Amino acid sequence: MNKHSQYAEALNAWISIVEDCCWEKPQDILNDFSSTNILHKRDNKQSIKSPERAVFDIKGNHIRIIVKYQFFTKQKKCILYLKWIGTHAEYTKICDKNQQYDINLFK
């Protein structure tokens, strides 16, 4: 993220908020971050759309963060797995290629 160091403060603020969240379902994410998009990926085995990722808009929609989430309802806990981070323009490019569902830059 060195090439986007001007966004470091906003990213650190986002991290400090999500570290303390007690989400149990996707709607909880939206309640705290209303501009977040929940991505629905078609499950070919069941022919249904299953949510598994969220896209956070950071710093007035200048930065996008794609995460995969996993809920642990008994513990009232959610783990976010960082999958991609970049500018809005970079996000548009991966969406044009329909990569937002599968991209994983941080293995």
Tell me the pLDDT tens digit for each residue of 53-104.
999 999 888 999 999 999 987 887 899 999 999 999 999 999 999 899 889 9
* Residue 3 in tokens: 């090439």
Predicted local confidence at residue 50, as pLDDT: 60
Kindly state whether residue 61 falls inside one of the protein's structural domains: yes
Predicted local confidence at residue 52, as pLDDT: 87
Kindly state whether residue 33 falls inside one of the protein's structural domains: yes
Kindly state whether residue 28 falls inside one of the protein's structural domains: yes
Predicted local confidence at residue 107, as pLDDT: 67
Kindly state whether residue 89 falls inside one of the protein's structural domains: yes
Would you place residue 106 in the very low, low, confident or very high pLDDT band (cuts 50, 70, 90)?
confident
Report the 3 state secondary structure along 50-97: EEEEEEEEECCCCEEEEEEEEEEHHHCEEEEEEEEEEEHHHHHHHHHC
Number of domains in the chain: 1
Contacts of 9 (CB under 8 A, 6+ apart): none
Whether 41 and 49 have beta carbons less than 8 Å apart is answered as yes
Whether the per-residue pLDDT at 2 is higher than 80: the answer is no
pTM of the prediction?
0.84
Q: Which helix (DSSP H) or strand (DSSP E) does residue 101 occupy?
A: none
Kindly state whether residue 82 falls inside one of the protein's structural domains: yes
Question: Phi and psi (nearest 5°) for 43?
Answer: -95, 105
Predicted local confidence at residue 3, as pLDDT: 66
Domain range for 15 is: 4-97
